[in-house]
Amino acid sequence: MFYREAGQFKTSYNKDQAVFPIIQDRWFIAAVIIGAYAVVPFAADEYWLQAVIIPFLILALAAIGLNLLTGYAGQVSLGTGAFMAVGAYACYKMTTNIPDLNVVVAFLISGVMAAAVGIVFGLPSLRIKGFYLAVATLAAQFFILWLFNKVGWFYNDNPSGTITAPPRELFGITITGPQATAEARYFVSLTFLVVGAIVAKNLVRGRIGRSWMAIRDMDIAAEIIGIRPLQTKLMAFAISSFYCGVAGALYIFVWLGSAETEAFDLLQVSFPILFMIIIGGLGSIMGSIMGAAFITLMPIFLTNFPPMIGIHLATDLQKHLEEIIFGGMIVAFLIVEPHGLARLWQIAKEKLRLWPFPY
Amino acid sequence: MPATRNIGDVLLDVDGISISFGGVKALSDVSFDVREHEILAIIGPNGAGKSSMLNCINGFYHPQEGTITFKGKPRHQMQTHEAALQGIARTFQNIALFKGMSTLDNIMTGRNLKMKKNLFWQMLYFGPALKEELEHRAVVEEIIDFLEIEAIRKTPVGKLPYGLQKRVELGRALAAEPDLLLLDEPMAGMNIEEKQDMCRFILDVNDEFGTTIVLIEHDMSVVMDISDRVVVLDYGKKLAYGTPDEVRANQDVIDAYLGVAHE
Ligand SMILES: Nc1ncnc2c1ncn2[C@@H]1O[C@H](COP(=O)(O)OP(=O)(O)OP(=O)(O)O)[C@@H](O)[C@H]1O
Ligand SMILES: [Mg+2]
């Protein structure tokens, strides 16, 4: 079969420590990435790119960010939307005030701004945990969006109250604003996700990731080993918010084009991203991406699949069905498989490895 | 066997420690010292204040009275993570492993303080960061071999049986290469065979690396076998202090502790 681990002995710790120690996995991932660059943009039409694939890529980046904080460091956050908004508004202010600034640099600085805000709202995490911390981050969510709505400076006192991405180029190709093609915007989002996922994976398999997980699993023991709780938690908040900030900037600049604060609403963004990591798998980078794919694809599936088999659902019924399915799955995953789709995938691979002759 | 090792100077000096919680006096005016390379056992009935003593030594509890001098420096109020910096590692009575992580990662975490590469290199996981990771991995593999837990390297520790968890926790403490190792009931709940293994590991650590060990244990035969000196606590007070033979012969101890245990 495809998965045959037997016979693949790891001859060095380096090989054993590789992200995908099994060669078939490496081929699979390489094929996915090559396909994403070389096939998808030509196979998918404008509608698919704009309505499904680009938002999936950007939300997956934010989901990775939240997973670093919640899945790895164990700090629950409902402020994802707010941290994304910080990135988006920072990017808007920078690009409109400094027209010559390279837009990719602007995206990265937006992430740094979000990281700074994330550190501030992470401070209570030294004292409070779990549910109470979630409530504190909820306060961040409401306060930041209120602030961006209230203070005209953030949207350049634009009478409509919206921020609009100005057209900016990278290598001579317009990648933001209405003139940018879906393909260009796709490549930008994809590249941010690929790089972001690799960096996140590197972080979690090294010293920093282990200190996050140690704090998550047993904070007192972690402290006695010499891990400083505040520093470690704040670093998780900072890096997580960096990811969310960059994703937020991309959300406006390469996806929506223009938006108001409502685009970063709790129910629009923060909760769905939390659901992505729960369904995809807490403490898994791959799971964050799977969860994002699942949540963006599910509505499309519900729109298209029932008619294909001759069932026609009313739009509102379909919407309710979607919510019921999400709700049910979240409860199911939380109870049965907190490691989510990522773990199910792993189990499937293990089964496949032994199939058809279990040892 | 203990006689052949050269016991050095005083490494840890505990002087007049008292601590109480609400009305409960967990420790009152307890003094003893621990010399380099020795194994010191703290014994006493349940609630005698043994674990509280370890918590004071590694800075998790702050005694209300008395001073603790470690490596010649009197300790002021310190934060919990500082004990590790000074070279103190420990295990817990109720295993405190990182349940979601593998055996390997748990022990690797024990080396966190020794890993210096910054965020930038960590993000790349390449060059110096990879080199550092592999160096520490090699040390951790030695510990894994030493503790004979090769087979469970990649297993999440939450899934391991109790005895193995205790072993992994010892591994995590050893990974820090401590000068002083505190073991809170390392053999509790183990069968004879597991206890023998654990005894062997403790003696080997002490012998090969010269690590000074303070351990809490209820099994008297174990205590008398492996420790150089014994502190007996009862209701937070020090009842006796000396070599196993001296302690065994002490009438107070016989009345208060051994007598009870042998009833
Ligand atoms: N953090 C704490 N808060 C309140 N009381 C405490 C605390 N730590 C210890 N105590 C009390 O101090 C006394 C000594 O407890 P300690 O855990 O040190 O005993 P022990 O000798 O380790 O007992 P055991 O053999 O059961 O482990 C007990 O009465 C305990 O209830
Ligand atoms: Mg105890």
For B184, the 3-state DSSP assignment is strand
Cα(A346) to centroid(ligand 2), Å: 40
Q: Are B172 and B110 in contact (CB under 8 A)?
A: yes
The residues in A 243-272 lying below 8 A from B, measured between CB atoms, are none
pLDDT of A359 over the 70 cut: no
| Higher local confidence (pLDDT), B41 or B260 | B41
Q: Are B244 and B224 in contact (CB under 8 A)?
A: yes
Q: Residue B257: pLDDT band by 50, 70, 90 thresholds?
A: low
Predicted pLDDT of residue B133: 86
- Give the pLDDT of residue A244: 96
Taking contacts as CB-CB distances below 8 angstroms, the residues of chain B near A227 are 81, 109, 112
A283 lies within 8 A of chain B by CB? yes
What percent of chain B lies above the pLDDT cut of 90?
44
Peptide bond into A356 cis (omega under 30): yes
Tokens of B247: 């302690």
Residue A231 forms contact with B (CB below 8 Å): no
Distance (Å) from CA B49 to ligand 2 centroid? 7
pLDDT confidence of residue A55: 93
**Taking CB atoms and an 8 Å limit, are B101 and A217 in contact across chains?**
yes
> Per the CB < 8 Å rule, is A206 touching B129?
yes
pLDDT category, B106, cuts 50, 70, 90? Answer: very high
Give the position, in ligand 1's atom list, of the atom nearest the Cα of B53. 18
pLDDT in tens, A275-328: 899 888 888 999 999 999 988 888 787 777 777 777 777 778 877 887 888 788
- Lowest mean pLDDT across A56-65, A77-86, A191-200, A348-357: A348-357
Q: Determine the residue of B20, B21, B219 to mutate for testing ligand 1's pocket, defined as the one with the most ligand atoms within 8 A of the Cβ atom.
A: B21
DSSP assigned state of B228:
S
What is the pTM assigned to this prediction? 0.89
pLDDT digits (tens, 9 = 90+) for B110-168: 998 888 878 888 888 878 888 888 889 999 999 999 999 999 989 899 889 988 999 99
By C-alpha distance, the chain B residue nearest A200 is: B123
Domains defined for chain A, CATH in brackets? 1-38 (no CATH), 39-354 (1.10.3470)
Q: φ and ψ at B17, to 5 degrees? A: -75, 130
Q: Is the ipTM of this complex over 0.90?
A: no
Q: How many CB atoms lie within 10 A of CB A336?
A: 7
Other beta carbons within 10 angstroms of residue B194's beta carbon come to: 17
pLDDT-based confidence at A197, cuts 50/70/90? very high
* Rg value, chain B, Cα: 19
Give the highest mean pLDDT range of A25-29, B130-134, B170-174, B258-262: B170-174
Question: What is the tens place of the pLDDT at every residue in A129-159?
Answer: 888 888 888 988 999 989 888 887 878 778 8
Domains within chain B, CATH numbers bracketed: 1-87+178-263 (3.40.50.300), 103-175 (no CATH)
Residue B67, beta-bridge partner list: B15
**Residue B145: how many other CB atoms lie within 10 Å:** 10
Q: Which atom of ligand 1 is nearest to the CA of B233?
A: 21
DSSP letter at B11 equals E
| Residue A358: φ, ψ to 5° | -60, 145
Please report the pLDDT score of residue A69 as a whole number: 95
Q: Which ligand approaches the C-alpha of residue B236 most closely? A: 1
In sequence order, the 6+-apart residues with CB closer than 8 A to the CB of A127 are: none
What values do phi and psi take at A164, rounded to 5?
A: -125, 135
**Nearest in space to A246 (alpha carbons), one of A120, A123, A63:** A63
DSSP B23-91: TEEEEEEEEEEEETT-EEEEE-STTSSHHHHHHHHTTSS--SEEEEEETTEE--S--HHHHHHHTEEEE
How are strands ordered across the β-sheet holding B212-216? B88-91, B180-184, B212-216, B39-43, B229-234, B237-242
| Smallest CA separation from ligand 1 atom 3, residue | B21
Cα–Cα distance for residue pair A140/A331, rounded to 1 Å: 26
Q: If you measure from the C-alpha of residue B44 to the centroid of ligand 2, how many angstroms do you get, rounded to a whole number?
A: 10
| Res B243 pLDDT > 70 | yes
CB-CB neighbours of A317 under 10 Å? 12
- Give the number of A-B residue pairs with CB atoms closer than 8 Å: 99
- Closest C-alpha residue for ligand 1 atom 24: B46
Which tops the pLDDT comparison, A247 or A319? A247
Determine the average pLDDT of the residues in A244-272.
89
* CA dihedral of B239, B244, B249, B252, whole degrees rounded to 10: 10
Is residue B12 within 8 A of residue B180, CB to CB? The reply is yes
Query: Residue with structure tokens 């033979």?
Result: B245
Average pLDDT over chain A reads 84
pLDDT category of residue A113 using cuts at 50, 70 and 90? very high
Helices (runs of H) and strands (runs of E) counted in chain A: 16, 4
Residue B2, pLDDT > 60, answer no
- Output the pLDDT for position A81: 93
Does any CB of chain B come closer than 8 Å to the CB of residue A224?
yes
Q: What is the model's pLDDT at position B27?
A: 92
What is the Å distance from ligand 2's center to A165 Cα? 62
Give the binding-site residues of ligand 1, using a 6 Å CB cut-off.
B 21, 24, 26, 44, 46-52, 93
**Residue listed under structure tokens 């915007």:** A185
Partner-chain contact B80 A224, CB within 8 Å: yes
Strongest mean pLDDT among A3-12, A120-129, B9-18, B119-128? B9-18
- Predicted confidence at residue B3, as pLDDT, reads 46
- pLDDT recorded at residue B165: 92
**Cα–ligand 1 centroid distance for B26 (angstroms):** 6
Which whole-number Å values give the CA distances from A348 to A281, A295, A352, in the listed order? Answer: 15, 21, 6
- Note whether B134 contacts A: Cβ–Cβ < 8 A: yes
Query: pLDDT of A214-233, one tens digit each?
Result: 999 998 899 999 899 899 99
Q: Is A213 on the interface with B (CB under 8 A)?
A: yes
Substitution target in A15, A119, A207, A282 with the highest count of B β-carbons within 10 Å is A207
Q: Which atom in ligand 1 lies closest to the alpha carbon of residue B55?
A: 18
Q: Per residue in A66-97, pLDDT tens? A: 999 999 999 999 999 999 999 999 999 988 88
For ligand 1, atom 14: residue with the closest CA: B49
CA distance A109 to A143: 22
Average pLDDT, chain B: 87
The CA-CA-CA angle for residues B94, B96, B98, to 5°, reads 150
Characterise B182 by phi-psi region: left (phi > 0), alpha (psi -120 to 50), beta (else).
Answer: beta
Across the range A37-59, mean pLDDT stands at: 84
What is the whole-number distance in angstroms between the Cα of residue B146 and the centre of ligand 2?
27
Average pLDDT for residues B205-219, to the nearest whole number? 91
* Residue among A208, A217, A226 minimizing CB distance to B81: A226
d(CA B13, CA B11): 7
The tokens for A309 are 């088999």
